[in-house]
Amino acid sequence: QKEVEQDPGPLSVPEGAIVSLNCTYSNSAFQYFMWYRQYSRKGPELLMYTYSSGNKEDGRFTAQVDKSSKYISLFIRDSQPSDSATYLCAMSGQAGTALIFGKGTTLSVSS
């Protein structure tokens, strides 16, 4: 079993839809959870960062962490064509250590 599982998609939605992206993980020591957005041939861009369990909201984006289920989610409201990208979940057990990434989910939002 891989440490971090993420459905690669692709996921196609119409503009304005609510998008739900998810990752599961196996290592209960993970405490830091991130979501990155990556456009083709570009480096990852940090979208959301959550420590431990709970929810975090930033504009149209909401990140949720459920440590009891080892499950994290990213919700995108009112999706836009500019949201079309690959979304990577990443996590680590300690601050300052390397991240373990999911495979990434490719999202396409059509206008």
Q: Which residues bind other proteins (CB under 8 A)?
A: 6, 8, 32, 34, 36, 41-46, 49, 51, 88, 90, 95-96, 98-104
| Of 6 and 79, CB closest to other proteins | 6
Provide the minimum distance between the beta carbon of 3 and other proteins in the complex, in angstroms, as a whole number.
11
Q: Least distance from C-beta 8 to other proteins, angstroms?
A: 7
Instruction: State the DSSP H helix or E strand holding residue 97, giving kind and residue range, or none if neither.
Output: none
Least CB distance to other proteins at residue 29 (A):
15
Closer by beta carbon to other proteins, 42 or else 77: 42
Q: CA-to-CA distance for 78 and 109, rounded, in angstroms?
A: 10
Q: Please state, in angstroms and as integers, the Cα–Cα distance from residue 20 to each residue in 23, 29, 32, 72, following that order.
A: 10, 24, 20, 10
- Using CA atoms, how far residue 42 sits from 38, 39, 64, 85, 86, in Å, is 6, 5, 26, 10, 10
**Nearer Cβ to other proteins (38/62):** 38
